[in-house]
Structure 1
């Protein structure tokens, strides 16, 4: 399989860097006002979508189409725009819609660029927090916080004895299953806020993030950022995180393998 030409990273990273700023400006100029909420799972559960989700996705799609008209696009709200291109943009216009609905500032815009199905660049933009996370290569990623840029690195001093764990099951793990992982429950001592928790791990603020039921647009944009910061990702049953689903993220292999063992009773 042909490999992505690393010389082209800067083209796409610069595009995402500008897009992050444009998305924040778009939010404050157009979307920081009353919005409508509907439930995708009416009668079967709760999966909210807002008029702002749709507006963000239309905005992102228009920017991509203008710059890279031949590329494919997959978005949570408007599906798959197919082409013959090896490049696909994967969009979650608002990751953390529940947070958005109640005014919690931890929601984000997530975008990845995939080459032949493999996420190579990721953006996690947090408009209300005025910060965004973006990788520029396989080994370099930054957080830009109120205009100040800092290189990302996981906590290299983390050990199992002092690990900071952020976890959420999003209603996907029954109480009976939770009883099978008592040590995980005991270690869940830090709040989990959707993609912000993954981003905090890349920044070295937390050491392990455990989440359930991620879709590709929840995790693909995070994968290249975490890897560039030195972290490890997989599903709970140790498959490639590209598959989405139940996700484990850790700062090193030792901790990652330890948590895979702890999660094994609920990993099937």
Structure 2
């Protein structure tokens, strides 16, 4: 469903495309060096680095320069409230654990929401030198090594031949996991935060299941997934913009099948 005018999609998608390139340059010029790590939690582990905060400051500044009246919601610096219908949702580093240990799969996630609905998304992977974004409600792209191509999910996927990636992030107990043996048996492909959702939109995976996504973990991916013709929801089949436990599937038939399998652990 088209929410913005075509001219608005063009304006905002051009902005995020340019922002992706700026973010990668910013990383290599300013942040590709030793950093400090701290733990947000007293019990458990939720790391944040000086790079997370530097990225978010940079992104907020870029948005403020171009769209000063828009709201901004960031993982590290909270909510800048205005009366605008537009809000930007930022995860400066999605996959901070990967960032800390040197895995290249971390990303910058940025969503533009209109009246609370994600309409434009960016998943930028500086080390991989690629980024995913949508230019309208039905057109998603990947840009790699300066070359841009349109992407689609694998709509021909079936339950018998699907490529499944799943991660429970410590949110699903072992006892609950035992209630979904069909999924445990089919988890043949690694799950790497936003990169798995991006690979799904590109047709490389057919189902991705994750636990405990916050709005900044998933909002940027929703418009990309939907523009690539994928289906995305919570495990309870609620709107994915609510975040939480998320599943995306390559077509409606497969999505219904997977939701049924997840039912014992979705309540």
TM-score range, shorter chain: over 0.9
Counterpart CA distance in 1 for 2:19 and 2:4 is 22
Indicate the residue corresponding to 2:102 in structure 1.
103
Q: How much is the aligned-residue C-alpha RMSD, in angstroms?
A: 0.9
Distance apart, 1:156 and its partner CA: 2.1
In the alignment, is residue 197 of structure 1 matched against residue 192 of structure 2? no
Counterpart CA distance in 2 for 1:156 and 1:259 is 15
Write out aligned runs for 1:133-212 (5 A). Answer: 133-212=132-211
Counterpart CA distance in 1 for 2:50 and 2:202 is 31
CA distances 1:129-153 after superposition (whole Å, capped 9, x unpaired): 0000010000101000111111010
More displaced 10-residue stretch of structure 1: 113-122 or 150-159: 150-159
Counterpart CA distance in 2 for 1:244 and 1:140 is 23
Which segments of structure 1 move beyond 2 Å, counting only runs of 4 or more?
2-7
Write out aligned runs for 1:78-93 (5 A). Answer: 78-93=77-92
Distance apart, 1:103 and its partner CA: 0.2
Q: TM-score, normalised on structure 1?
A: 0.98
Partner of 2:123, secondary structure, is strand
Partner of 2:34, secondary structure, is coil
Write out aligned runs for 1:1-268 (5 A). Answer: 3-42=3-42, 44-268=43-267
Aligned pair count reads: 266
Counterpart CA distance in 1 for 2:159 and 2:3 is 36
- Alignment gaps of 5+ in structure 1: none
Q: TM-score, normalised on structure 2?
A: 0.98
Contact 2:3 2:119 in 1 (8 A): no
Counterpart CA distance in 2 for 1:69 and 1:80 is 14
Distance apart, 1:3 and its partner CA: 4.8
Counterpart CA distance in 2 for 1:172 and 1:21 is 34
Partner of 1:189, secondary structure, is coil
Distance apart, 1:157 and its partner CA: 2.1
- Alignment gaps of 5+ in structure 2: none
